[in-house]
Amino acid sequence: MQRRKFIRTAGVGGVAVAAASTLAAPAIAQSMPDLNWRMTSSFPKSLDTLWGDAELFSKIVSEMTDGKFKIRTFAAGEIVPGLQVLDAVQNGTVEMGHTASYYFYGKDPTFALGTVVPFGLNTRQMDAWLIQGGGEALLNDFYKSYNVYAVTCGNTCAQMGGWFRKEIKTVDDLKGLKFRIAGMAGEMLAKLGVVPQQLAGGDIYPALEKGTIDAAEWVGPYDDQKLGFSKIAPNYYYPGWWEGNASIQCMTNLEKWNSLPKMYQAVIRAAGAQANTWMQAKYDADNPKALRELVGAGTKLLPFSQPILEASFVAANDVYAEINAKNANFKKVYDSQMAFRKDEVLWFRVAENTFDNFMARQSAAGKL
């Protein structure tokens, strides 16, 4: 009898626990406020990976909060131009912005370190620095002076070197070249005679078509094919040494961020992490096919020469030294990132690169 009574009691208790668990999640959700926010992006809807990242982020936030926290997404130009996202978030025009922080290099070079700097980290190394190397905390300590809080929500992975009307064989070929390139890389290339131009994604094709610029870099084959650059500039160079990765941020107005319940802050971080993984996977899946199609249609795929890469590396280090000497914010974040880079590159030389280089040789030999 005692045993049967225990089983009956335990059964009732188990049902009660299950019922409590079932009720707990909706009860928590019901206690949270209903929010309807707006997020403006730096990217046009035609770029379904960059723009799709913003849409995915918003969808995840809504699903994780049972529809209590809704974020409406707006493409570049619908509320503000793509390069004014930071201003819109900072002054409260919108609650959130979806952007690449290096677009705001003109305000402070430190913004570049949130996305990528030339000859910096690759994609995995950037994620490691942000998550395990203290990078996210360092960046947000800087961002707070601009009244924003940021979470990483995407990465384009390593980028291409861009589209050129004529072949670039020597360092001298760069002199006088009007090149669409963002922020710090433009300053470095200026030391080699390039005339850098900063344009939002949707403005590049018209400028290239009209001859306002001689060359342009954007992301990689998948996006570049959509933007049609190959129709005007047939020479496609690699690698984009200025973007070994390109981290994307979802920025929140700092006052709005601080007013959020901790649960909603955790949801934003989780949505950012999932969107970050999704974007990387999508580019890695879509770029190979796009590159094959571009080359098949007549695009000339060309590597930057070793002398160009070496001259660019020297110019990059010169610019870093100049900025570090006068900008304490930049130096603090830069020192952390570059110390991390030193260890990461050493480690990648041992296993990652050895494996990748072997597989590349098998590909070149037609064995894959």
pLDDT of residue 27: 54
User: What pLDDT shows up at residue 12?
Assistant: 41
Reading the block at residue 263, the tokens are: 């649960």
In the 8-state DSSP scheme, what is residue 230? G
The continuous run of DSSP H or E covering 357 comes out as helix 352-364
Q: What are phi and psi of 172, to 5 degrees?
A: -65, -25
Mean pLDDT per block of 10 residues along the chain (368 residues) reads: 41 40 50 96 94 98 98 97 96 98 95 98 98 98 98 98 97 97 90 91 88 95 95 97 98 98 98 98 98 98 98 98 98 98 98 97 97
Alpha-carbon gap, residue 247 to 316, rounded angstroms: 19
What does the pLDDT read at residue 22? Answer: 41
Q: Find all residues with CB under 8 Å of 196, minimum gap 6, and list them.
A: 179, 180, 181, 185, 186, 187, 189, 190
Distance from C-alpha of 14 to C-alpha of 20, rounded to nearest angstrom: 10
Give residues with Cβ within 8 angstroms of 97, minimum separation 6.
Answer: 39, 40, 41, 42, 85, 86, 88, 89, 148, 249, 250, 251
The predicted-structure confidence for 178-211, as pLDDT tens digits, reads as follows 999 977 999 999 999 999 998 877 789 999 999 9
8-state DSSP, 305: P
Contact predicate 207/216, CB 8 Å: yes
pTM recorded for the entire structure: 0.90
CB 149 within 8 A of CB 121: no
SS3 content of the chain, % helix, strand, coil (to 5): 60, 15, 25
